[in-house]
Every structure is written in structure tokens, then in C-alpha cells.
Amino acid sequence: MQIDLSIFNPSNRPLIGLDISSSSVKMLELSAQEKGKGRYTVERYAIEPLPRDAVVDGKIVNIEGVADAIGKAWKRMGATTRFVAMALPAAAVITKKIILPANLREQDMEVQVESEANQYIPFALEEVNLDFQVIGPAPSSPDEVEVMLAASRKEMVEDRVACAEGAGLKPLVMDVESYAAQTAFELVKQQLPDGGKDKIIALIDIGANVMNVSMMRNDQVVYNREQAFGGHLLTQDIMRAYGMSLEEAEAAKRNNTLPDNYPGEILAPFMDNLGQEVGRAMQFFFSATPYTQVDHIVLSGGSSVIPGVSEAVFGHTEVECLVANPFVHMETAAKVRAKSLLEDAPALMVACGLAMRRFDQ
């Protein structure tokens, strides 16, 4: 079995988290503080917008345009390392937990994993990148281990690698976006009462086009859902109302330079829709699982930086909301502007989780 990039295995080299979303490229580098395990410093970061429709439904359509944006972000960061950790959209990855005998050598385990993968993957094995990781002893028997296998179409991996290499960078790790966000979420949940222990926490990532909903309990995802709703709807409303181009609307939204009627006539209806979408997601969760309540909502993604978003969601759900900031307990290097980092933090969850791969044991 030939695996060019590992979905699981980390590297101890300096590493930049590189997140390619539908609207922008986000890059982040962390370093570890010597005192206190798990304490980090934000060394540098950059966010660079992507050309329109460069990434559609998680698929890279314009490799040259994405590579160009990555190159610009890397230069603006002033980074010296060229090694990056990247991620695939969750929808592009098939994951499955399997049980195998505990005494298998790694080579024998690879053969077993390939054999098991044949049952679960609807493509020929030569068309996929396949990887696996031993999670730990199987709950049912001490003589067996639980193994997570992950597979994705080679073209999804190769397109991302081509974008990074086109910018002169070297991918070392290929993760899954939802796993990377959950890694960063470990830092966010410390800000919840009692660290969110035994509570149902809704991690809601509001991107440009898609809202990803993960219901978590004690570090386990108990429910997942994707809804077609995102910040691009607000951008379209601005374009229509004020006759702006996409670029002008995005810039005006970001720089808060819109006309006086914007908050009441454009933003308020969008916020109301956003709150309704989160409420809908919770109702789907209740009807599909035995759970009947959500204890905390954590909002992330580029669209959760809009002022007033947590109040809008609370208004529709009556559940306490926290806008994600994984950098609360981190130091920042002198060249990082703390105010900008605070504003951008919710959009950097995946990049942060990827940057943390540097410190995996």
C-alpha cells in the first residue's frame, strides 16, 4: 500500500496550518512555550481571499488561482518554513472504525485494513489514498484494538498538494477539516463551565456557503449535519441592495463602510435567518437522536465574526453562545496584531487545529 501523505502521522518539524476554504486561504504558525505543556505562541498568520469560484463544494477548480493566493499569504506571513499541514473537507473522506487483533504487526495490519476498506469504499483501491491509525484497545475485548481507517479520492488529495507545491510549499500532513476543528475546539472548551464535561455542545461552523454542525459530548461527535447556508447570502444581499460587485461588497462588509440603512434593512434579516438555521439544526438533532437538549453553542467560521451573531442565535435557541477563540490562553509574537487576531479567531479554527499537528506525540 502506497501512502504519499499521512492523514494521521504528524511531524516534529516547524509546520504551518494551511486551510483552503471556499472564499479564502488561511495560514497560521504556532510555537510551543517551554513552560507548561500545551501552551502555545501565535508566531504569525495570514488570510488571503480566493478568486471567485476557485473552490466549489470543497473541490479545487482553479489550482493556479489557489496556489497564487497561498503564495501571497505565505509571503505576507514572513514565514521561513515551507512545510504545511492541510485538510480535506469531511464530505470528501470516508472514515470507519474497525476492530482488529491486537497482536498484528504493522505490515499485517495494512493488509487487513486494505481488505476491510474494500467493503466500505465505493471506489477501486487504486483510486484512493488510504490511511489508518490505532485508536486504542477495543471496548469489547483486550485482545483486540480499535482502528480508524480513512480514505479519500486521490484527485482530492493531489489537487491540494498541487496548490501548495505551486506556491513553493511542501505538504507533510493531510488531515480532515472536521478533525482539525475538533483539535482546536479542545482549546475553546476550556472556556466553558467545567470544561463542558458531560454536556452536549453544538460546534457550529458558519462558512461562506455551508454551515457545518457537530454535536459533541465528552470529546465524541454524537451527530453531524451540513446545511446550505452561509455568509455569501449576506454578500449577495449587499450586492443587490447597493449595486456593488462581489469584491466591493466583501470589502465593505469587512471594513464596516456600508450605508446607514444596512444594519436594519440588510443585516437584521440575515441574522434572523441565521438564528433560524441554527434552531432548525437543533430540531434535526433532537429528532434523529435520543438527546433532548443542547447545553452550549460554540460558533466558528468566517461568518461568526459578524457583530451580534451570538445574540441572534441565542434569540432563536435560548442556549448560551460562545464565539470560538482558540487563542485566548496563547501568547502572541510581537508582529501579530492582537486586535486583528481577536477578530479573525473564529475563522482560524481549522488552521489552528492543523498548526497544532506539529506538536502531536
Which residues sit opposite 17 in a β-bridge? 28, 85
- Provide the 8-state DSSP code for 117: H
Domain annotation for the chain: domains and CATH numbers: 16-90+157-185+329-359 (3.30.420.40), 92-154 (3.30.1490.300), 191-323 (3.30.420.40)
> How many whole angstroms separate alpha carbon 285 and alpha carbon 9?
33
* DSSP labels, 240-291: HHHT--HHHHHHHHHHT---TTHIIIIIHHHHHHHHHHHHHHHHHHHHHSS-
> How many whole angstroms separate alpha carbon 313 and alpha carbon 316?
5
For position 108, what pLDDT does the model report?
87
78: CB partners within 8 A, 6+ apart: 44, 335
> How many whole angstroms separate alpha carbon 92 and alpha carbon 157?
10
> Which segments of the chain have a pLDDT < 70?
1-12, 34-38, 361
Q: Is the pTM of this model over 0.75?
A: yes
Span between the terminal Cα atoms of the chain, in Å: 24
pLDDT (tens digit, 9 = 90+) per residue, 90-142?
888 888 888 899 888 888 888 888 888 888 888 788 888 888 888 889 888 88
For position 122, what pLDDT does the model report?
81
Helix (H, G, I), strand (E, B) or coil at 146: strand
Locate cell 484527485: which residue?
A: 155
C-alpha cell at 108: 499485517
For position 360, what pLDDT does the model report?
78
> How many whole angstroms separate alpha carbon 86 and alpha carbon 175?
6
For position 293, what pLDDT does the model report?
95
> How many whole angstroms separate alpha carbon 194 and alpha carbon 271?
30
